[in-house]
């Protein structure tokens, strides 16, 4: 596994900006009704590795299915650059949309396909 590196992320209009520390090698592509429509590629980090730099007031959440994950989107441009939730053991986590990170070459990442439709 590679070392964690700091990445800057944002929505399209730039209202929402964040920094995440990630050992970026593998990401998931989920086929749930939300992710399949959005085309998100996700990785997960704990709160110690995520910092929202700006835009809290520009975020709105959308919840579906079990309503456990706050799928956040920018009210200015509509981009979902990250979500807030919890791991299966209840620890807080952030689901980061890797497509919203600066300087990431998606072709170098291993993409694991997750059957989210079955949950």
103: Cβ contacts below 8 Å, ≥ 6 apart: 7, 8
Average pLDDT, the chain: 91
pLDDT digits (tens, 9 = 90+) for 42-99: 999 999 999 999 999 999 987 777 767 888 999 999 999 999 999 889 999 999 999 9
**How many Cβ atoms sit within 10 Å of the Cβ of residue 53?**
12
What span, in angstroms and rounded, lies between the C-alpha atoms of 62 and 60?
A: 7
Q: Would strands 5-10 and 82-86 be described as parallel, antiparallel, or unpaired? A: unpaired
pLDDT higher than threshold 80 for residue 27: yes
- pLDDT for the residue numbered 56: 94
pLDDT at 79: 94
Virtual CA dihedral for 114, 56, 23, 32, nearest 10 degrees?
Answer: 0
Q: What is the pTM of this model?
A: 0.89
Burial 89-118 (b: 16+ CB within 10 A, else e): eeeebbbbbbbbbeebeeeeeeeeeeebee
Main-chain phi, psi angles of 103, to 5 degrees: 75, 20
Structural domain spans, the chain: 5-108
**Span 5-108 CATH architecture:** Beta Complex (2.170)
> Is pLDDT of 119 > 80?
no
């Amino acid at each position: 596994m590679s070392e964690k590196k700091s990445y800057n992320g944002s929505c399209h209009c730039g209202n929402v900006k964040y920094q995440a520390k990630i050992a970026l090698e593998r990401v998931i592509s989920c086929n749930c009704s939300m992710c399949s429509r959005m085309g998100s590629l996700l990785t997960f980090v704990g709160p110690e590795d995520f910092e929202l730099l700006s835009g809290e007031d520009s975020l709105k959440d959308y919840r579906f299915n079990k309503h456990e994950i706050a799928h956040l989107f920018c009210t200015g441009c509509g981009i979902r650059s990250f979500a807030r939730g919890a791991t299966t053991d209840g620890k807080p986590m952030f689901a980061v949309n890797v497509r919203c990170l600066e300087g990431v070459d998606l072709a170098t990442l291993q993409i694991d396909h997750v059957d989210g439709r079955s949950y």
